[in-house]
Amino acid sequence: MQNKLAENIAETILKKAKVCPQLGLVLGSGWGGIVNALTDKCVIPYSELSGMPQCGVKGHAGNFVIGTIGGKVVVIIQGRFHLYEGRRMEEVLMPLNVLYSLGVRNVILTNAAGGVNEKYRVGDIMILKDHINFTCKNPLIGVQPSEEFPVFVDMSEVYDPVFRKKILNACIELNVPCHEGVYMQLLGPTFETPAEIRAFRNWGVDAVGMSTVVEAIYARYLKMRVAAISCITNKAAGMDINPIKHEDVLLQSEKEGVFLEKLMKKIIATI
**Running DSSP on this structure, what letter comes out for residue 161?**
H
Q: Which residues pair with 208 in a beta bridge?
A: 114, 184
Catalytic residue among 46, 52, 82, 106: 82
Rg (CA), the chain: 17
Q: Which member of 6, 17, 52, 112 is catalytic?
A: 112
- Active-site residue (options: 94, 210, 227, 239): 210
Residue from 17, 37, 60, 101 carrying the catalytic annotation:
60
| Helix H or strand E encompassing 130 | strand 125-134
To the nearest 5 percent, what fractions of the chain are helix, strand and coil?
Answer: 35, 25, 40
CA angle 47/52/55 to nearest 5° reads 65
Report the distance separating Cα 228 and Cα 190, nearest Å: 23
CB atoms within 10 A of CB 40: 10
Q: Which residue of the set 101, 106, 117, 211 is catalytic? A: 211
Say which of 3, 7, 85, 90 is annotated catalytic.
85
Catalytic residue among 91, 133, 180, 246: 246
Annotated catalytic residue 179: no
**Does residue 211 carry a catalytic annotation?**
yes
Four-residue CA torsion sign, 225, 231, 232, 233: negative
Helix, coil or strand: residue 222? coil
Catalytic residue among 101, 106, 234, 253: 234
Residue 192's nearest CA partner among 137, 129, 235, 229 is 235
- C-alpha closest to that of 45 among 36, 55, 37: 55
Annotation marks residue 84 as catalytic? yes
Q: Which of these is catalytic: 7, 8, 84, 90? A: 84
Determine which one of 10, 17, 29, 183 is catalytic: 29
Q: Which amino acid is at 117?
A: N
The residues assigned a catalytic role are 29, 60, 82, 84-85, 112, 210-211, 234, 246
